[in-house]
Every structure is written in C-alpha cells, then in structure tokens.
Amino acid sequence: MKLLVVVLVLCVINITGTFAQGLNEKCYSAKHNVQIPDTVCVDTKVRKCRNKMTVFFVSVLFTCLTQLIYSIILRYTNEDPKNWRLPFGMISIVNTTYSPGFEIAYVYQFTSIIYFITTCLTSTIIITGLLNFAATQFKIMQLKIKRILTNANNSSIQWRFLKTQIEELIRYHEFITEIVQEVSFMYGNMILCNFMGTLCINCVEIYRMSILSLKDSRVVNILAEIITGSFHTMLICKAGQNMTNESEKIAECIYEIDFVGTDLRFQKSIVILLRRAQKPARIKAGGLVNVSTVTSLHVLRLAYSAFTILRNVYNK
C-alpha cells in the first residue's frame, strides 16, 4: 500500500509540473487566438515547483513513517503492554493491551493517516501548481510589455501593428485575471479548510507537547509533525504571495516605460492596461483571508502563543 501511495503522489507531482507547460501552449492560444512568446522558458519555474512538492512529500512521508516504525518496534521489542504505543495516540474504545486489539488499532491508524496524507498532498499540489502557473503568466506578460516598448520606439513599425500588440496584451491580462478569479472561486473554500485544519492539528499537537517533559523523545516527533503539518500552508501562501508580487510588477514595468517620442495613440492605449494592472491579483481563502506569507506567519504565531499559554498553565 505504501508503494501505491508513493506512485500516486509522484504521478500527481509530474502532472502538476507539466500542467503549466500544457496551459501555456494551448489554453491562451485556443481562447484568444494568439501565440505566447517563445522568449520565456517556464522550465525553471516548473522545476522549482517540482522540487518544493518533492521536499514536501518526502518530509510528510518521513515524519509519518518514523512514527509508524517506532510504534511497531516498541510492540515487538517489549513484552509489557504498558510500553506499547500507537503511532498517533491511544484509542480509548479499543483495548490495545492484547495482541489482536493493538494490531487492529494500528492498521486503522495507518490506513486513516495514509488516506489523509494523500488527500492533503493532492489538494496542496494542485492549488500550488495553479498559483505558480498564474505567476508565470504574469512574468511572461512583463516581457511582452518590454518587447512592445522596443517596437514602439521603432519608427518603421506602423501604428496598426502596435495596436494589435496592445490589444493582445489587454486580452492576455484579462485571461490571467480570469484564471485567478476561477482559482479563487473553485479552491478558496478548500484553502480556508486547509488553514483551519492546520490550526486544529497544531492545537492538538501543542496540547500533547505541553503535557510532556521537554526531555521526552516524543517532543521531537510532535515538533516534526507540527512543522510538516504547517509546511503545506506555507507552500500555498508562498505561491499566492509570489503570484501577487508578479502581478504588481506589471504596473511597475509600465511605469518604467519612457513615453517620450512614442506615438501619442500608443501612450493613450497603454493607459488602459496601466489602470487594469494597478490592482494586484490576490487569492482569498473563503473570501476572508488573503493567501500570503503574512497569513502563514500569523498561523505560526498563533501556534507558538498557544504553546506558551498551555505550558504556563501546565507548570502551575
């Protein structure tokens, strides 16, 4: 079963890696009948996305497998049932002090955790891939703006060709904005559930840590679970922040254009694009919280505050 989960998640990673390339070549050209410039290579961004997802998958798998292996080692190296420990806490409704009961509870926890991990990994990879794809499109648009400026300064190029390029830029920006809106509409509630789930998991893990001594070896495992559980939120927030930054750079790229000497009609047309680019693209989780690095840091701060409060209460 472990091998099946590994193969499944790795396939999702590869599909997500090629997702941006497929949309880059087909979606925009099919909808707007234009060709995305070949001057930009998205392989670097795709490679970075794959590396992040691979690190995320390996860290989650390592954290969970160490708990599972440690639990099974205790089971077969200690004859005293009091020293037996399930990977993720004891189950009160099942008597785990004898052999069949412990194995049944172990299999239940194993299958539940694997199913939960696979679901979270798949959703995180898809959302992060979409946000990185939108950021890549904003980057492509920046280079298109710089190229059109070169054409505007070339007096041999007639206005009707410049007009076509500007109209293409405006349609291109509308296309990217539609992608961001669709991602926010389709996955906004899922991202909010991810944030809430991360907070709930951190609260449970922090409570477990607060009742243990800092010298207990289980503290290290719980800390690894907290970091791994928060990592997917950091990835989504980092991708959302990167997309917002790239969208803001479009307005900066237009501001840097030297309009002196260019066609007056070109100057009037580029103002339309400037107005559209002044509002950066943002993803909101459930329409409430911006998906940004500030949000991920806020989640970590809440987790640390909860740990401090519980530790002080327990010490008293």
Read out DSSP for 171-195? Answer: HHHHHHHHHHHHHHHHHHHHHHHHH
By mean pLDDT, which of 24-33, 260-269, 276-285 is the weakest? 24-33
Q: H-type helices in the chain, by residue range?
A: 2-32, 43-77, 99-153, 159-210, 218-255, 264-277, 293-315
Q: What is the mean pLDDT of the chain?
A: 72
Output the pLDDT for position 137.
85
Q: What is the pLDDT of residues 3-52, one digit of tens each?
A: 333 333 333 334 344 444 444 443 444 344 444 444 444 566 667 767 76
- Mean pLDDT score, 224-234: 77
244 Cβ neighbours under 8 A, 6+ residues apart = 280, 281, 282, 292
Q: Which residue has the tokens 């010298």?
A: 215
Q: How confident is the model at residue 78 (pLDDT cuts 50, 70, 90)?
A: confident
Supply the pTM of this predicted model. Answer: 0.68
pLDDT band at 112 (very low <50, low <70, confident <90, very high): confident
**pLDDT exceeds cutoff 80 at 303:** no
Q: Spell out the residues 6+ positions from residue 223 whose beta carbon is closer than 8 angstroms to its own.
A: 209
Structure confidence at residue 208 (pLDDT): 77
Distance CA 246, CA 257 (A): 17
Q: What is the mean pLDDT of residues 120-126?
A: 80
Residue 169 pLDDT greater than 70, yes or no: yes
Who wins on pLDDT, 31 or 115?
A: 115
**pLDDT score of 46:** 65
- Range with lowest mean pLDDT among 79-88, 108-117, 168-177: 79-88
Residue 284, phi then psi, degrees to nearest 5: -115, 130
Mean pLDDT to the nearest integer, 142-170: 70
Q: What pLDDT shows up at residue 260?
A: 65
* pLDDT average, residue stretch 271-293: 78
Three-state DSSP state, 96: coil
CB 180 within 8 A of CB 174: no
- Average pLDDT, integer, range 114-127: 79
Reading the block at residue 162, the tokens are 């410049």
Could you tell me the pLDDT band of residue 157, with boundaries at 50, 70 and 90?
Answer: low
Give CA separation, 98 vs 79, 80, 82, 95, 159, in Å: 10, 10, 10, 7, 84
Q: Is the pLDDT of residue 262 over 70?
A: no
pLDDT, tens only, 84-109: 777 766 666 666 667 777 777 777 77
> What is residue 21's predicted lDDT score, i.e. its pLDDT?
41
Percent of the chain whose pLDDT exceeds 70? 72
Instruction: Average the pLDDT over 132-144 and give the result.
Output: 84
CA 141/CA 147 separation, integer angstroms: 10
Q: Positive or negative CA dihedral for 207, 199, 46, 22?
A: positive
Residue 289: phi and psi, rounded to 5, are: -120, 135
